[in-house]
Structure 1
Amino acid sequence: MPGTTWPPHHVRGMVPGLTKVKEVRVPKGVVGVISPWNYPLYLGVGDVLPALMAGNAVVSKADSQTALTMLWTRALMAEAGLPTDLWQIVAGPGAEVGTALVDAVDFVCFTGSTATGRTVAERAARRLVGASLELGGKNPLIVREDADVAAAATGTVVAAFANTGQMCIHIERVYVHEKVYEAFRAELVRATRALRLGRSYDYAVNVGSLTSAAQLAAVEAHVDGAVAEGATVLVGGRARPDIGPLFYEPTVLEGVTHGMAVCDEETFGPVLSLYAYGADSEAVDLANQGAYGLSASIWSKDSREAGRMAVRIRAGSVNVNDGAAAAAGSIEAGMGGMGESGLGRRHGAEGIRKYTESQTIATQRLLPLGPPKPGQSGVERFVRRTNGQLALLRRLGVR
């Protein structure tokens, strides 16, 4: 859809009445969307649709593990009337296919790890091509002294262990006020132990498999390393090959300290670390530790006070009395990260504007603007031209 523009936004011109100015938005051209294997419909197609709506053509680099989801959606879009050439899908190794895509498109939308995001951003920057990046997270959840402990524990379990913890906005750190720590810990352990692991595709089980052997190895390394350095496993903490080759129990750790990989690095699996705090200011400081800033959660009966805490947390989204879904599912609001969790936003106005360029169109009437005549200073020219334009406006009846 080259040449497509949005409705113009009219602004005041240089000379009111004689200079007419409008701002329009025009498509970037060809947008490259590189999407991950987890949530391929939501994260992959969800970035394609606004790019198309903004007037661009799109080339998607689907993850090799979930390419069929993208192809199925493209077939549905074709049935709905989308020209088949307007959205192309490629798959293959990221180092080859992803690199070639970044080197060819006019804008890049990437979702994935922080390490790969840096590479994408650097490569795009060499071509002076823009990039939107949603990257990793080590997301905190705060349980205030006044929180409903049972509800907070249930919400934490969902926010941490849904999709086996394999989503960038899932919770990995939980900070609990010291006065409710014991009660929350007991409720969290009970709720976690009650989760059912299984291989079925129905709702008879709560937690499924990890996606790859590499992911299982990373989870085991984080948990085993923390235990070796003094952390305690409250529940879980082991692989379950009796259920399937990539199963790992939902795990809650206590006694995790800085320097442990599970404390400082994204685990991307069913693992939580539990900490106690004494004051709200301390909880905010703890939540802001580390380089990430993607999503956060606060549980409290006082939504006003929780809101005051939320704006002090360095995160692109903060959920009050919800783990992560409330912000992510509110698609009229932007979603993205701060710090090493990325650049730009998906969803909301920014989620579609990022696929466009702002263009200013100025139309000058009657008296053209230009350099001063020889021998005439800029000030003299300005005064004379302004007086002439004002006189002309008065004759035209413009006040």
Structure 2
Amino acid sequence: MSEILKNYVGGEWIAGRGDGTPLRDPVTGEELARVSSEGLDLDKAFDFARTKGGTALRDRTYAERAALLGDVAKALQAKRDDYYAISIANSGTTKADSGMDIEGAIFTLSYYAKLGASLGDAKVLLDGDVTSLSKDGSFRAQHILTPTRGLALFINAFNFPAWGLWEKAAPALLSGVPVIIKPATATAWLTQRMVADVIAAGVLPEGALSVVCGSAAGLLDRVQAFDVVSFTGSADTAAKLRAHPAFVSRAARLNIEADSLNSALLGLDASPGSGAFDGFISEVAREMTIKSGQKCTAIRRAFVPAAHFDAAAEALRAKLAKITVGNPRNETVRMGSLVSRDQHTSVKAGIDALRRETELLFDGSATPLVDADPEVSACVAPHLLGLRDGEASAVHDVEVFGPVATLIAYRDEAHAIDLARRGGGSLVASVFSDDEGQLAHFAVALADTHGRVHAVSPAVAKTQTGHGNVMPQSLHGGPGRAGGGEELGGLRALNFYHRRAAIQAPSGALDLLPKAAAK
């Protein structure tokens, strides 16, 4: 039996009891490690984080906490090679795909370190302008934001074990809120290792960062009114979380990022051979295959004018035919595996469900896997499906979390917008057009049902950041089935970890608020 990875709680490294749950290489099936949270003293762990970690963080200014983030980023940079090796082994991703997770994590930390430094020596944030409450202006109101006196519990998904931790932890720690991270079991090794390296570097105060590997049982039972919880995962699990007494009775804050049937839309003006058409094709193919389609922002539905359906199908087939699938250790492989055989089964079932309503435009499984046994590995080749009228229901309801997308024809602008909205709320939609007026029109029309609209013209073909790339400067989240949550977005991310209060006082007292908060 392989080693059981230890949990870090209450300022100690503790191995859970029992045999634990194995973590495997999704290409070879080899057991890599085990995790267990059985027997942990969760009451002690939560209390230690709130009191020891929270107090130490709140005693620092925003600029001082920003410096801590910079030190965390440096500690992680020194161990990059180790993280790539773990990612390739435990997630089955190519080096390039692993980089999206690892480098994205370090970039986000560095961004918030720089952003936090601009907040200076304050310990609270002023929110908006002073408002007069009296005719003579002597009695006024000022809203302020103070760090919540609780902890942040993160329950994360398997697809981004590095970035998924630090994109949440960076604004939490900058806000002065300690973090307990519960990574998805299947890929917990990378998260646990990063936490271990940061703890070993001694760059954070005791209790500021904890990790629980294994079962999440009992975690929500310890969540109190001033704690906050951020969840990334399925809509079914999110629904169960919402019903927990921590949120129903104790009114703790809950942020959710769930399922998302993201779209890419080709404008009516973008005919085959145009810059917008070529950009659309490249982006759809890229989003289908990067991280084997295991991204919450990946393109699942690609809308094209009906007149260009066959041309788009042929162009995508040509792109996808060049994708080699298999063992990411082989340098010829462009796309690695899914994260586990369970996901392999789920994706295959999802493809079958979509095929009942669609035609199969491209089936990459006709090409043999590279250095991978199809009976053992979790590799699934790209599948492109087609729908010529857009009126089927499954493509707007079933998210297949793998290298799968459906090309869908639309009649006119109103039809395209209606089809995109049928996703029920999504993280992101992309629009490709040569006409910037059309880009603006689609962007506004889609904004109410999407957390982000990514509009691309040929003028920004080389500078646009990518449909699926989540940048810390912009909002990450979406309404409806996407969870209704918000993350990142620059300083907006700090709102989740702060409490807003209105201070009603004489003008002189309001002027002294920053000084009072510094004590």
TM-score range, shorter chain: 0.7 to 0.9
Aligned to 2:133: 14
Aligned to 2:380: 248
Aligned to 2:209: 87
2:306 paired with 1:178: yes
Q: Tell me the distance in 2 between the aligned counterparts of 1:14 and 1:230.
A: 61
Gaps of 5+ in 1: 367-399
- Spell out, residue by residue over 1:54-102, the C-alpha distance to the aligned partner (whole angstroms, 9 max, x if none): 11111111112232322333244342621131111112223x1543454
Aligned CA-pair RMSD: 2.6
- Asked if the contact 2:192–2:213 (Cα under 8 Å) also holds between the matched residues in 1, the reply is no
Question: Map of 1:45-60 to 2, 5 A cutoff?
Answer: 45-60=166-181
2:236 partner SS: helix
- Spell out, residue by residue over 1:279-306, the C-alpha distance to the aligned partner (whole angstroms, 9 max, x if none): 1111111111132322111111113311
- Asked if the contact 1:165–1:269 (Cα under 8 Å) also holds between the matched residues in 2, the reply is yes
Alignment coverage as a number of residue pairs: 364
Q: CA deviation at 1:202?
A: 6.4
- Asked if the contact 1:117–1:135 (Cα under 8 Å) also holds between the matched residues in 2, the reply is yes
Aligned to 2:451: 316
2:466 paired with 1:338: no
Question: Which has the larger displacement, 63-72 or 101-110?
Answer: 101-110
Q: Percent identity?
A: 25
- Asked if the contact 2:155–2:232 (Cα under 8 Å) also holds between the matched residues in 1, the reply is yes
Q: CA deviation at 1:201?
A: 3.7
Q: TM-score, normalised by structure 2?
A: 0.65
1:233 partner SS: strand
Aligned to 2:158: 37
2:265 paired with 1:142: yes
Q: CA deviation at 1:159?
A: 1.5
- Spell out, residue by residue over 1:90-123, the C-alpha distance to the aligned partner (whole angstroms, 9 max, x if none): 12223x1543454687111111111111222222
- Asked if the contact 1:132–1:345 (Cα under 8 Å) also holds between the matched residues in 2, the reply is yes
Aligned to 1:394: none
Aligned to 2:144: 24
Gaps of 5+ in 2: 1-53, 60-122, 271-275, 509-519
2:195 paired with 1:74: yes
**Compared CA separation, residues 327 and 345, structure 1 to 2 (3 A):** farther
Q: CA deviation at 1:339?
A: 0.9
Q: TM-score, normalised by structure 1?
A: 0.83
- Spell out, residue by residue over 1:170-218, the C-alpha distance to the aligned partner (whole angstroms, 9 max, x if none): 0111111123222211110110111111212465322110112221112
Question: Which has the larger displacement, 7-16 or 297-306?
Answer: 7-16
Q: Tell me the distance in 2 between the aligned counterparts of 1:262 and 1:281.
A: 19
Aligned to 1:383: none
**Compared CA separation, residues 101 and 250, structure 1 to 2 (3 A):** farther
2:207 partner SS: helix
- Asked if the contact 1:250–1:270 (Cα under 8 Å) also holds between the matched residues in 2, the reply is yes
- Asked if the contact 1:109–1:133 (Cα under 8 Å) also holds between the matched residues in 2, the reply is yes
**Compared CA separation, residues 217 and 210, structure 1 to 2 (3 A):** same
AA partner of residue 207 (structure 2): D
Whichever of the two has the greater Rg, that structure is 1
Question: Map of 1:1-399 to 2, 5 A cutoff?
Answer: 1-2=54-55, 5-9=123-127, 10-15=129-134, 16-28=136-148, 29-78=150-199, 79=201, 81-94=203-216, 96-100=217-221, 102=223, 106-123=227-244, 124-147=247-270, 148-201=276-329, 204-227=332-355, 229=356, 231-236=358-363, 238=365, 242=373, 245-255=377-387, 261-313=394-446, 314-321=449-456, 325=466, 328-348=469-489, 349-364=491-506
AA partner of residue 422 (structure 2): Q
